[in-house]
Amino acid sequence: MRLLIQRVTEASVTIDKQIKSSISKGLLLLVGIEETDTQEDIDFLCKKTVNLRIFDDENGVMNRSVLETGGEILVVSQFTLHASTKKGNRPSYIKAAKPEVSIPLYEQFCQALSEMLGKPIQTGEFGADMQVELINDGPVTIWIDSKNRD
């Protein structure tokens, strides 16, 4: 499972010209799921996300988590995070999980993240054509792959 985490001052997801979800200060998570992902990957990434110290403290040092700052989280599924560009110019998505695997894992991830954050999170719509808008704060963008924990 891969996450692209962006610290934002605001973010939203629009589907068919209608805003589905929006947040103010917090995190936008783009989530890619592969066939081999399990509950262990979900638990690792949820814990890492809510405790990641990327928000400024009173001294302007990134020393606070989204949990500590009361920030919000917007989660958007994005199978293209598993693109392979090793061969040719057309990316291959062979490692991205099929919907029958990825939808339940995505839903489990969102539920576990909401529980760890202690409040509801916002989401996109799995498989929809979405327009994602954000103002990246910093900019701060972090890539985490649950298969590379060492």
> How many CB atoms sit inside 10 A of residue 138's CB?
13
By the 8 A CB rule, do 31 and 53 touch? no
104's tokens? 């339940």
Q: Which residues contact 20 (CB under 8 A, 6 or more apart)?
A: 13, 14, 123, 124, 125, 130
Residue 80 annotated among the catalytic residues of the structure: yes
By the 8 A CB rule, do 1 and 104 touch? no
- How many C-alpha atoms does 125 have within 13 Å on its Cβ side? 12
> Annotated catalytic residue: which of 38, 80, 123, 141?
80
Q: Which residues are catalytic?
A: 80
